[in-house]
């Protein structure tokens, strides 16, 4: 009975709307208007195990709730039970698209609290590694975003370039993917001439391939229709939501931790902070595209300026000795034994050290009780914070834009879920 009277009301409403030549009709019963759609956790466009609950009005997103935790491995708990050295391999698996950047961030945090400083050569190598990791990460972000909106070619091109980067990481660190490259007080291996040549070759060729992607996308009507003006956010909201990295710079906020509080040797290298004003998907895409060229610039300068010298700090009580010497020398053997078993014993206290990771502000907060294990380690993962803005970004957009927006904020679930 109630149903039929409501139907009548609806029909009357539709007729009235048609008479007014108004083509959109909003019905009052929410059951007839809204639909809840579950995206993920195994959805190809959510970049990992992100689950979204999306409430739809027709094709328009009314509300969106992200659900995290499908990749929660409890790294903060594991950190409390492992020594500072033992935790380095776990940092690879946070943002697994740019592992060296994570290694560097973690090593800097431990060095800060332990009072160790890596020698200049190691710092330059770290900068080179971190910037190559940024290029790799941005290529992945752009490739995946372009694929999500239908441009398969760019994805393949980006992966071709990333393959070259992985060859470089292989030469530099000995492995392609999970690098575990930094040590507390330095890096694991030196930058050889062969690696240097490979990097020089890559950065010489990369701008050409970069311009190919630009040519493919920047005037492509299909791509532009999917990203320009989609998922826009203004600077104030973005700051309130702790957006960081390329996403924040896409809203016109000139915030880059490499400039904000320079670490390593970034203050000796010249590069620009890239910003775009619009704050939409296209702006975020453009920031990433332009930042890759800045990274190339940084790597080129770093390769020119890199000094000769040791790659590990000369602090036997805190820094692992070179492996070759451990086999030959008594003292190195003892130090190696003590550091591996007992660990670096930093001062009692806490530090929060941030770096400009590939995704944004990557910070490690360490509370030390003076022993070899951190008492508490908090990973401030940029993807987690960037994802928090997702409900604001997708609100009022079309359902098909959700994938473009996820692609444009570039979340990595390994990092968001820790």
CB of 328 to another protein, least distance (A): 33
Cis peptide before 41 (omega within 30 of 0): yes
Q: Measured from the CB of residue 384, what is the shortest distance to another protein in angstroms?
A: 7
Could you say whether residue 351 binds another protein (CB under 8 A)? Answer: yes
Tokens describing residue 191? 């930058």
> What's the N-to-C CA distance of the chain in angstroms?
53
* Contact (CB, 8 A) for 390 and 406: yes
* Dihedrals phi, psi of 26, to nearest 5 degrees: -100, 120
- Choose the binding region for another protein from 203-211, 323-331, 362-370, 397-405 (rule: CB under 8 A): 362-370
Question: How many residues sit in the footprint of another protein (CB under 8 A)?
Answer: 41
Cβ proximity of 276 and 287 under 8 Å:
yes
Residue 378 is a binding residue for another protein (CB under 8 A): yes
CA of residue 68 relative to chain centroid, distance: 16
By three-state DSSP, how is residue 55 classified? strand
Nearest approach in angstroms of CB 240 to another protein is 5
Angle of helix 193-217 relative to helix 120-148, nearest 10 degrees? Answer: 30
The distance between the two most distant Cα atoms of the chain, rounded to a whole number of Å, is 95
CA distance 403 to 416: 18
Applying CB under 8 A, does 375 fall inside the site for another protein?
Answer: yes
- Per CB under 8 A, the list member of 175, 239, 326, 398 interacting with another protein is 239
The verdict on 96 binding another protein (CB under 8 A) reads no
The reply on whether position 42 binds another protein by CB under 8 A is no
Determine phi and psi for 375, rounding to 5 degrees: -70, -40
**Token pair in block for residue 8:** 């009548």
State which residue, 167 or 350, has the beta carbon closest to another protein. 350
Task: Find the shortest distance in angstroms from Cβ 234 to another protein.
Answer: 13
CB of 188 to another protein, least distance (A): 25
34 lies in the binding site for another protein (CB under 8 A): no
Indicate whether 90 belongs to the interface with another protein (CB under 8 A): no
Is residue 150 a contact residue for another protein (CB under 8 A)?
no
Rounded to 5°, the CA angle 89-186-182 comes to 20
Query: Please, which residue, 268 or 388, has the CB nearer to another protein?
Result: 388
Minimum distance, C-beta of residue 361 to another protein, in the bound complex (Å):
6
Q: Does position 182 bind another protein by CB under 8 A?
A: no
Helices 99-114, 120-148: inter-axial angle, 10-degree rounding: 140
Q: Which of 80, 117, 212, 278 binds another protein (CB under 8 A)?
A: 80
Q: Rule CB under 8 A: choose which of 8, 16, 72, 323 binds another protein.
A: 72
From the CB of 5, what's the least distance to another protein, in Å? Answer: 37
- Rounded distance between C-alpha atoms, residue 233 and residue 247, angstroms: 10
Question: Which residues inside 241-270 make contact with another protein, applying CB under 8 A?
Answer: 241-242, 253, 255, 260-261
Q: How far is CA 27 from the centre of its chain?
A: 42
Backbone angles phi, psi at 365, to 5 degrees: -110, 120
Query: Per CB under 8 A, does 369 bind another protein?
Result: yes
Residues that bind another protein (CB under 8 A): 68-69, 72, 74, 76-78, 80-81, 112-113, 237, 239-242, 253, 255, 260-261, 349-352, 354, 361, 363, 365, 367, 369, 371, 373, 375-376, 378, 380, 384-385, 388, 417-418
């Amino acid at each position: 009975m109630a149903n039929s009277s409501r139907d009548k009301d609806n029909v009357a409403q539709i007729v009235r709307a048609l008479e007014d030549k108004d083509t959109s009709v909003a019905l009052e019963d929410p059951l007839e208007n809204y639909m809840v759609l579950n995206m993920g956790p195994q959805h190809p466009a959510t970049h990992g195990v992100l689950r979204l609950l999306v409430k739809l009005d027709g094709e328009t997103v009314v509300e969106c709730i992200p659900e995290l935790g499908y990749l929660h491995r409890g790294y903060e708990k594991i950190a409390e039970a492992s020594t500072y050295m033992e935790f380095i391999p776990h940092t690879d698996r946070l943002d697994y698209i740019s592992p060296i950047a994570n290694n560097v961030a973690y090593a800097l945090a431990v060095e800060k609290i332990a009072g160790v400083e890596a020698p200049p050569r190691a710092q330059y190598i770290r900068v080179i590694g971190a910037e190559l990791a940024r290029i790799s990460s941005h290529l992945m972000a752009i490739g995946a975003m372009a694929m999500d909106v239908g441009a398969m070619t760019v994805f393949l091109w980006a992966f071709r370039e990333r393959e070259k980067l992985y060859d470089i990481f292989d030469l530099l660190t000995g492995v392609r993917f999970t690098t575990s490259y930094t040590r507390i007080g330095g890096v694991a291996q030196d930058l050889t001439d062969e690696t240097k040549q490979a990097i020089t070759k890559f950065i010489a060729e990369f701008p050409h391939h970069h311009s190919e992607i630009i040519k493919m996308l920047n005037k492509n009507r299909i791509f532009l229709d999917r990203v320009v003006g989609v998922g826009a956010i203004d600077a104030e909201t973005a700051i309130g939501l702790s957006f960081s990295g390329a996403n924040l710079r896409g809203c016109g906020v000139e915030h880059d931790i490499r400039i904000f509080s320079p670490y390593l040797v970034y203050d000796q290298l010249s590069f620009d902070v890239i910003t775009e004003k619009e704050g939409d998907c296209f702006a975020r895409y453009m920031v990433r595209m332009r930042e890759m060229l800045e990274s190339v610039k940084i790597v080129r300068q770093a390769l020119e300026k890199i000094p000769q010298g040791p790659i590990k700090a000369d602090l036997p009580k805190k820094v692992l000795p070179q492996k070759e010497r451990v086999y030959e020398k008594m003292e190195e053997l003892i130090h190696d034994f003590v550091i591996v078993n007992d660990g670096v014993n930093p001062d009692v206290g806490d530090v929060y050290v941030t770096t400009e990771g590939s995704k944004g502000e990557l910070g490690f907060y360490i509370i030390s009780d003076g022993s070899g294990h951190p008492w508490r380690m908090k990973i401030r993962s940029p993807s987690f914070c960037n994802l928090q803005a997702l409900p604001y970004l997708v609100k009022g957009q079309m359902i098909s834009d959700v994938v473009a927006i996820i692609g444009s904020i570039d979340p990595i679930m390994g990092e968001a879920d820790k």
